[in-house]
Structure 1
Amino acid sequence: MLAPEVIAGIAEELAEADRAHTVIPRITARHPNATVEDSYAIQRVWRDRMIASGRTLVGRKIGLTSKAMQQATGISEPDYGVMFDDTVYHSGAEIPVDHFSNVRIEVELAFVLARPLAGPDCTLEDALAAIDYAVPALEVLNSHIELEGRTIVDTISDNAAYGAMVLGSVRKRPDEIDLRWVPGVLARNGEIEETGVAAGVLGHPATGVAWLANKFAQHGARLEAGEIILAGSFTRPMWVSRGDTVSCDYGPMGVIECRFV
């Protein structure tokens, strides 16, 4: 385990990189013995500083839940991070590209919980029973650590590379639609770049919600009612730049559009 002062120092580096929209050297290049436990400790210190500064936690993101994302990153296990109120956009938004580093887009579903969900033996059925509704979402990736050679330790420390999310307007209860077959057709400036279906996320996009509840149980915590859970991408990340218009067609769950300015 890294020393507490090292963990605190890295958390401050990441906070400054977030403020300045810059990138820091890989943690694992400087601390090759850093563990996954260290990375979550760094993320927790960073999270607590953000909350102390006045930001409000509204949910959790789960990452690396599909084969497409695992192959794209070379990382083979899911991870998670936190989401704050000032990172939530809605379809039609103009998003300042300068607020982020290494900006990419992923296609996902988000779930809003109707009641708390706790492990350690949470199943997919338990997760579906706790979900109020699903809504389509695009995740904006925001990486403050150099990408080349990055490991899961680096990614988790950097709040699982979460930057923002763009929510659609169509909401569906889990009993209204077969969530496994929700499609995603992702386009940049009118040209289709990525396609997928939500079953690519662990066989069912809500499986990650159960996984996260069980993960939290290891630390004596639970997911709370009203939290937004971003369930993981079922396409590879797509790079975006200033001036790009992004759209994603989710079939029966509508279309999300946004523009990077």
Structure 2
Amino acid sequence: MPGATSPVPVSSTAVQEVADLLVDAAASGKPCPPVRSLVSAGDVSTAYAVQRLNNERRLAEGHRLVGRKIGLTSEAVQRQLGVDQPDFGALLSDMVVAQDGRVPFGRLLQPKVEAEVALVLNADLPDADCTIDDVIAATEYAVPALEIVDSRIADWDITFVDTVADNASSGLYVLGEQRVRLDEVDLATVSMSMSKNGEAASEGTGAACLGSPLNAALWLARTLAELGDPLKAGDVVLTGALGPMVVAAPGDVFAASISQLGDVSVRFAPDPAGEDGSSE
């Protein structure tokens, strides 16, 4: 994604129209139809321009850019959407949920939860030809994370341009409290298990994320550097799902354990009408 202050191209009626549809969907709580009818299948640059415009709006409202997320790190999902690379979105300051915190009812439209590795940087990554060693050197620590993805597109009926325009289907995220240095862990070999309401719901390994979460982080670092908006010290990087994402409903509790890294959990507030059958 080009820099947060980069101008949206002139003659971008489609950019404005799609951006407005997504903003209205989030504000109303009613998902919109797929936006690919307004953004042609191969027009990834326009889709990222939509993403950038809506993130600029949120920054203008006082939110801060705190990092990035990588999506579509599963080769199977890439094949499903007809692409050969991941995508990325922005993480803003209002997306953070505390460890074992609670997501307010109605905050998201169609939430799903996935477990992944997060990196927290302590140095910039400005070079488009950076290496894995550079990424490792720039990483202060890794933590287990839950990403709560969401879609403003009805029924998650998305193609690549739909999810890119929709900030890579970003929602919220949770970071675990155990911090591990990269020289203490092999991210390619970690194993993940995630439960929903105490029952097994998803599992996977670090290798499921482009062979290693570090490969995903390297792709992101190079891509953003090429675009002139590099990763910076202090950024959080959500590197991508280690296993299948799971639908979340009011009252649900998710907990994930990633070997060598630790545990992370989140709760969803019950439906105030009590329709989910749960209680405080």
Instruction: Normalising by structure 1, report the TM-score.
Output: 0.93
Q: Which residue of 2 aligns with 1:188?
A: 196
Change (3 A) 1:15 1:34: farther
| Pairwise CA distance, 1:34 | 6.0
User: 3-state DSSP class of the match of 2:213?
Assistant: coil
| Counterparts of 2:20 and 2:129, CA distance in 1 | 35
1:123-162 alignment to 2 at 5 Å?
Answer: 123-147=131-155, 149-162=157-170
Check the 8 A contact 1:28/1:34 in 2, yes or no.
no
Contact 2:81 2:160 in 1 (8 A): no
TM-fit CA distance, 1:8: 1.7
Describe the shift of the 1:74–1:141 C-alpha distance in structure 2 as closer, same or farther (beyond 3 A): farther
Write the deviation string for residues 63-85 of structure 1: whole angstroms up to 9, x where unpaired: 11123544676654200000111
Query: Share of identical aligned residues, percent?
Result: 36
Query: Quick one: which amino acid aligns to residue 82 of structure 1?
Result: A
Q: Please give the secondary structure, in 2, of the residue aligned with 1:8.
A: helix
Partner of 1:53: 61
Deviations 1:176-212, CA, capped at 9 Å, x for gaps = 1112222210111111011111121111101112111
Q: 1:192 to 1:86 in 2, by over 3 A?
A: same
Instruction: Give the count of matched residue pairs.
Output: 261
Other-structure match for 1:110: 118
In structure 2, C-alpha distance between the alignment counterparts of 1:103 and 1:14, rounded to whole Å: 16
**Which residue, 35, 38, 63 being the options, matches 2:71?**
63
Q: Does 1:256 align with 2:247?
A: no
User: Which secondary structure state, in structure 1, belongs to the residue aligned with residue 210 of structure 2?
Assistant: coil
Q: Is 1:204 matched with 2:204?
A: no
Match of 2:51 among 26, 40, 43: 43
- CA deviations 1:37-90 (Å, max 9, x no partner) are 010000011111100011111000001112354467665420000011111112
243-252 or 2-11, larger mean C-alpha shift: 2-11
Deviation (angstroms), 1:109: 0.7
Which deviates more from structure 2 when the two are superposed, residues 5-14 or residues 225-234?
5-14
Partner of 2:19: 11
Shift of 1:21: 2.3
Aligned counterpart in structure 2 of residue 24 of structure 1, from 5, 8, 32: 32
Q: Secondary structure at the match of 1:49?
A: helix
Q: In the TM superposition, what is the alpha-carbon distance from 1:9 to its structure 2 partner?
A: 2.4
| Unaligned ranges ≥5, structure 2 | 1-8, 270-280
CA distance in 2, matches of 1:209, 1:96: 30
2:253 to 233, 240, 245: 245
Partner Cα distance (1:10, 1:227) in 2: 28
* Secondary structure, counterpart of 1:126 in structure 2: helix
CA offset digits 1:185-244 (Å, max 9, x no partner): 011111101111112111110111211121112222211110001100011110110011
Letter in 2 for 1:129: A
TM-score where L is the length of structure 2: 0.87
Partner of 2:256: helix, strand, or coil? strand
Range 12-21 or range 197-206, more displaced: 12-21
Q: Which runs of 5+ in 1 are unaligned?
A: none
